[in-house]
Structure 1
């Protein structure tokens, strides 16, 4: 017997069963093609205000543990699965996924045809949606009106809602995982929705990471005397992030080495003067093929983005901002499914970015070399300044 309903902005409905908390939730509905990594997905701040549909039919079989979260809470607005696991079967599990969703108040729905739902979103594009159960249930027309009254993702400035309130430090590590007394570099990482594994990956390479709030100023960044600046992943429309874009321009003006991922890639694009646009249904999952144009290597990568940079795919272009003061830029990486820009590299500045998640939480490790490339960029910049 159905006791929950998923309602899309265009009026289509899917009846199912309550999974997780009971009640009402609204957000932009997106689908994730990963076969695993649901705990990392749920705790990724990039999914703030989004209802996530898992295309993998069986979800929750490894339960939930206290080691794999990428932040201190679940960020998804709602959760949609087809067949939830009846029990956890991993020795690492400390509780079930259903129990975790209930404990954190995340409204979900199960036992619906997620294949049909995904096909619908691929044809119509992502849209607003709502999950309703318990006392939140009402006639369909009323539920559709509630969904259509929810805020859209376009124009949303959300990084400040998921960022840390206070700066903190992740210390460099030696080869044995112990503290490194003399870090190879110091990085100022702007938390736009950063995942815990990202500064960890830098620390493993001997970098001391100062994680700063999204509200950080250029003076805040320069105060830590960074060898490099990093912009993280995060939610929202990059066109609305005016503070972060101006901060990044200040970094570029001072020729401090820069590395950005996901949202940070989009912000680099906008800082350079390129546009951004909303994808029809985005890239979300751990199986996206991307080519590194410098090497010709194809990487299987982890993605979570609904916006992309609008830059010339072929050859060099001059960054449009302020009469081209940032010089030449190339598209360094491209998605092999749809030719979406997946990376930028400045030729006259020490700056590069990628649209995907090289920290691999969850996901493949094909792109881990990008953190090494960042270290190389900072070392080259030090030599040039000597």
Structure 2
């Protein structure tokens, strides 16, 4: 019976642990196309302690996401993460290259800034081979957008529809989205109406429209360089925030084979003759004795003279106690020797009653001695 009870307890613990472990999120993306994964705050809100069930309050907790590759301190080279504010969702985005194919396990740590609880989730990204050939690619700059505002699927669809009207085909796919700050752009002022700007890159298997081909014309480049009015801008935007900057757009045609670089020209492999090597002559002999005198002897002599002068002043110019007393008046010497006695007498007078203490006589004695000296003289 004891064995059956222990087995039942072990099975129960294993079942509870299995049910408590949350399954990994698995997603797939082909190489050469944009990958976007949005981290929704409301999804992770239920993973923390549900205070609203106890107290009847529903919290909108600020959350911070920290993402890294499993057993690595950072993300893969093709993947980036952004979250502008703890009250906004986070985004994992990037474009994997053909050499990035394989399985990527991303660890997502969610930190609740109200309760400081932490939750961990794993995201498995399977990067497969490219499924579409897009030899015609175009990159557009959206000046009035930020990277967090372009990554949502709804905004991407708005931009794709605008580019579709410009391109003349619906077979468009996003290749990459990057912030202008990643291209060396300046950080905008934290004021309304200032944005960092976003570059969006789309591709298709359909050739460019006639309007888009004007981006490669010399006339278009001269107009953009002069800063005047652009005559060939035929782009349209349903949302003013999605309007593209025509002068900062570019086309990339991969349908034409790129000519290989010219092979280097092989030389003879022999250096030209430059004549016989003539080494420089030895420098002439130099007498270092004058420099030794100036550097060593002169400073030592000055130090010795200074020491002799200092010794004479400290030892030979001292007055001495007897000579000092001989030059000092007897009245001054008497005052000097009786300072301690006078101080003791004053303390005794201050401590006792004035009626029982005799009048001080030591203060009058110097005057008597001075009068006697004057009388003898």
Q: What TM-score, normalized by structure 2, do the two folds share?
A: 0.23
Q: Which one has a larger percent helix, Structure 1 or Structure 2?
A: 2
Higher strand residue share: 1
Structure ID, larger Rg: 2
